[in-house]
Amino acid sequence: MFSTEATTLHLYGMYHDVLRDPHGTAIWDSGWRKNTIVVDCRRLLAGFMHGAPTGTLGLQGLQVGAGDPAWDQTGPPLPDGTQTALVDHNPFTVPRASLQINYLTGTGSTVSGTPTNRIQIVAQLGPNVPTWPDANHPVSTLREFGLVGQLDSTTVLINYVRHLAIVKDPASTLVRTIWLVF
Protein backbone atom coordinates (compact mmCIF):
# COMPACT_ATOMS: atom_id res chain seq x y z
CA MET A 1 0.00 0.00 0.00
CA PHE A 2 1.25 3.49 -0.80
CA SER A 3 1.74 6.10 1.88
CA THR A 4 -0.43 9.20 1.61
CA GLU A 5 2.26 11.61 2.66
CA ALA A 6 1.05 15.21 2.93
CA THR A 7 2.73 17.57 0.49
CA THR A 8 3.02 21.22 1.48
CA LEU A 9 5.17 22.41 -1.44
CA HIS A 10 4.34 22.27 -5.13
CA LEU A 11 5.71 23.46 -8.44
CA TYR A 12 4.51 26.95 -9.33
CA GLY A 13 5.59 30.19 -10.94
CA MET A 14 5.06 33.93 -10.63
CA TYR A 15 5.95 36.89 -12.83
CA HIS A 16 6.26 40.64 -12.48
CA ASP A 17 6.49 43.15 -15.36
CA VAL A 18 7.67 46.75 -15.19
CA LEU A 19 7.60 48.98 -18.29
CA ARG A 20 10.09 51.87 -18.17
CA ASP A 21 10.33 54.96 -20.35
CA PRO A 22 13.65 56.00 -21.98
CA HIS A 23 14.65 57.80 -18.74
CA GLY A 24 14.17 54.66 -16.62
CA THR A 25 10.97 55.85 -14.96
CA ALA A 26 8.42 53.11 -14.34
CA ILE A 27 5.32 53.92 -16.42
CA TRP A 28 3.48 50.65 -15.75
CA ASP A 29 3.79 47.87 -13.17
CA SER A 30 1.83 44.60 -13.35
CA GLY A 31 2.41 43.54 -9.75
CA TRP A 32 3.18 39.88 -9.03
CA ARG A 33 0.95 37.38 -10.87
CA LYS A 34 0.84 33.60 -11.27
CA ASN A 35 1.99 31.83 -14.40
CA THR A 36 1.16 28.34 -15.65
CA ILE A 37 3.72 25.56 -15.38
CA VAL A 38 3.05 23.27 -18.34
CA VAL A 39 3.39 19.50 -18.81
CA ASP A 40 6.70 19.70 -20.69
CA CYS A 41 8.33 21.35 -17.65
CA ARG A 42 7.48 18.26 -15.64
CA ARG A 43 8.80 16.01 -18.45
CA LEU A 44 12.01 18.07 -18.55
CA LEU A 45 12.46 17.68 -14.78
CA ALA A 46 11.80 13.94 -15.03
CA GLY A 47 14.42 13.74 -17.80
CA PHE A 48 17.01 15.37 -15.55
CA MET A 49 16.15 13.05 -12.65
CA HIS A 50 16.42 10.03 -14.94
CA GLY A 51 19.81 11.16 -16.24
CA ALA A 52 18.97 13.49 -19.10
CA PRO A 53 19.75 12.09 -22.54
CA THR A 54 21.90 13.99 -25.01
CA GLY A 55 19.97 16.93 -26.39
CA THR A 56 18.14 17.70 -23.14
CA LEU A 57 18.99 21.12 -21.77
CA GLY A 58 17.30 23.30 -19.18
CA LEU A 59 16.17 26.85 -19.70
CA GLN A 60 17.15 28.09 -23.16
CA GLY A 61 15.27 31.36 -23.49
CA LEU A 62 12.19 33.51 -23.06
CA GLN A 63 9.74 33.76 -25.94
CA VAL A 64 7.42 36.77 -26.22
CA GLY A 65 4.52 36.96 -28.60
CA ALA A 66 1.70 39.13 -29.86
CA GLY A 67 -0.91 36.55 -28.86
CA ASP A 68 -4.41 37.13 -30.25
CA PRO A 69 -5.60 40.74 -30.71
CA ALA A 70 -9.16 39.53 -29.91
CA TRP A 71 -7.97 39.17 -26.29
CA ASP A 72 -8.03 42.99 -26.09
CA GLN A 73 -11.84 42.85 -26.27
CA THR A 74 -12.58 39.69 -24.28
CA GLY A 75 -9.54 39.40 -22.02
CA PRO A 76 -7.06 36.58 -22.56
CA PRO A 77 -8.36 33.09 -21.81
CA LEU A 78 -6.64 31.25 -19.00
CA PRO A 79 -3.97 28.88 -20.29
CA ASP A 80 -3.95 25.30 -19.15
CA GLY A 81 -1.07 22.98 -18.38
CA THR A 82 -1.19 21.32 -21.80
CA GLN A 83 0.01 24.40 -23.71
CA THR A 84 2.95 23.42 -25.95
CA ALA A 85 3.71 26.69 -27.76
CA LEU A 86 2.80 30.34 -27.86
CA VAL A 87 -0.27 31.34 -29.90
CA ASP A 88 2.06 33.65 -31.89
CA HIS A 89 3.68 31.29 -34.41
CA ASN A 90 6.64 33.66 -34.84
CA PRO A 91 7.60 34.69 -31.30
CA PHE A 92 10.69 36.70 -30.46
CA THR A 93 13.17 34.70 -28.35
CA VAL A 94 15.39 36.30 -25.74
CA PRO A 95 18.30 33.81 -25.61
CA ARG A 96 19.55 32.32 -22.36
CA ALA A 97 22.77 34.37 -22.57
CA SER A 98 20.65 37.54 -22.31
CA LEU A 99 18.77 36.36 -19.22
CA GLN A 100 19.91 36.86 -15.63
CA ILE A 101 19.28 33.59 -13.76
CA ASN A 102 19.78 33.21 -10.00
CA TYR A 103 18.87 30.83 -7.20
CA LEU A 104 16.82 32.47 -4.44
CA THR A 105 16.61 31.67 -0.73
CA GLY A 106 13.62 31.86 1.59
CA THR A 107 10.43 33.50 0.37
CA GLY A 108 11.98 36.79 -0.74
CA SER A 109 14.43 37.72 -3.46
CA THR A 110 17.74 37.05 -1.69
CA VAL A 111 20.18 35.58 -4.23
CA SER A 112 22.00 32.38 -3.28
CA GLY A 113 25.32 31.20 -4.70
CA THR A 114 24.26 27.56 -4.29
CA PRO A 115 21.27 25.67 -5.70
CA THR A 116 17.93 26.08 -3.93
CA ASN A 117 14.35 25.16 -4.84
CA ARG A 118 13.69 28.63 -6.31
CA ILE A 119 14.97 30.26 -9.50
CA GLN A 120 14.63 33.88 -10.58
CA ILE A 121 14.87 34.75 -14.27
CA VAL A 122 15.12 38.41 -15.27
CA ALA A 123 14.79 39.53 -18.88
CA GLN A 124 15.24 43.11 -20.00
CA LEU A 125 13.62 43.83 -23.34
CA GLY A 126 15.35 47.13 -24.02
CA PRO A 127 14.83 49.68 -26.77
CA ASN A 128 13.94 48.07 -30.13
CA VAL A 129 13.44 44.64 -28.50
CA PRO A 130 11.64 42.71 -29.77
CA THR A 131 12.72 43.65 -33.26
CA TRP A 132 9.15 44.43 -34.29
CA PRO A 133 7.40 45.69 -36.33
CA ASP A 134 8.24 43.05 -38.90
CA ALA A 135 6.39 41.01 -41.52
CA ASN A 136 4.54 39.02 -38.82
CA HIS A 137 4.03 41.80 -36.28
CA PRO A 138 2.74 45.17 -37.51
CA VAL A 139 3.06 46.63 -33.97
CA SER A 140 5.11 45.86 -30.86
CA THR A 141 2.24 44.72 -28.65
CA LEU A 142 2.95 41.81 -26.31
CA ARG A 143 0.19 39.55 -24.98
CA GLU A 144 1.96 36.29 -24.06
CA PHE A 145 5.27 34.81 -23.00
CA GLY A 146 6.83 31.51 -22.10
CA LEU A 147 10.11 30.10 -20.93
CA VAL A 148 11.50 27.43 -23.22
CA GLY A 149 13.92 24.56 -22.69
CA GLN A 150 15.20 21.68 -24.75
CA LEU A 151 14.03 18.07 -24.35
CA ASP A 152 15.51 15.40 -26.62
CA SER A 153 16.79 18.17 -28.94
CA THR A 154 13.29 19.68 -29.28
CA THR A 155 12.31 23.12 -27.97
CA VAL A 156 9.60 22.75 -25.32
CA LEU A 157 7.53 25.20 -23.32
CA ILE A 158 8.29 25.28 -19.59
CA ASN A 159 5.78 27.87 -18.44
CA TYR A 160 3.24 30.10 -20.16
CA VAL A 161 1.39 33.36 -19.52
CA ARG A 162 -1.33 35.20 -21.41
CA HIS A 163 -1.79 38.77 -20.23
CA LEU A 164 -3.46 42.02 -21.16
CA ALA A 165 -1.74 43.86 -24.01
CA ILE A 166 1.52 45.62 -23.22
CA VAL A 167 2.18 48.24 -25.88
CA LYS A 168 5.95 48.51 -25.97
CA ASP A 169 7.17 51.44 -28.00
CA PRO A 170 10.66 51.27 -29.58
CA ALA A 171 12.21 53.49 -26.88
CA SER A 172 10.86 51.71 -23.78
CA THR A 173 12.28 48.84 -21.73
CA LEU A 174 10.23 45.99 -20.31
CA VAL A 175 11.78 44.26 -17.29
CA ARG A 176 10.18 40.86 -16.80
CA THR A 177 11.02 38.93 -13.60
CA ILE A 178 9.93 35.29 -13.34
CA TRP A 179 10.11 33.05 -10.28
CA LEU A 180 9.90 29.28 -10.52
CA VAL A 181 9.49 27.31 -7.29
CA PHE A 182 10.18 23.56 -7.26
Q: Is the model's pLDDT at 142 over the cut of 70?
A: yes
Pairing of strands 12-20, 26-37: antiparallel
Query: Could you report the per-residue pLDDT of 161-176, keeping only the tens digit for each?
Result: 999 999 999 999 999 9
Q: Is residue 75 part of a domain?
A: yes
Judge whether residue 19 has pLDDT over 90.
yes
What's the domain count of the chain?
A: 1
Model confidence at 71: pLDDT above 90:
yes
* Cα separation, 145 vs 182, whole angstroms: 20
CA 73 – CA 52 distance, rounded (Å): 43
Q: Please indicate, yes or no, if residue 6 is contained in any of the structural domains.
A: no
CB 162 within 8 A of CB 40: no
**pTM, rounded to two decimals:** 0.89
In a domain, 3, yes or no: no
Residue 70 lies in a domain: yes
My answer on whether omega of the bond before 170 falls inside 30° of 0, hence cis, is no
- Over the stretch 85-117, which tens digit does the pLDDT of each residue have? 999 999 999 999 999 999 999 877 899 999 888
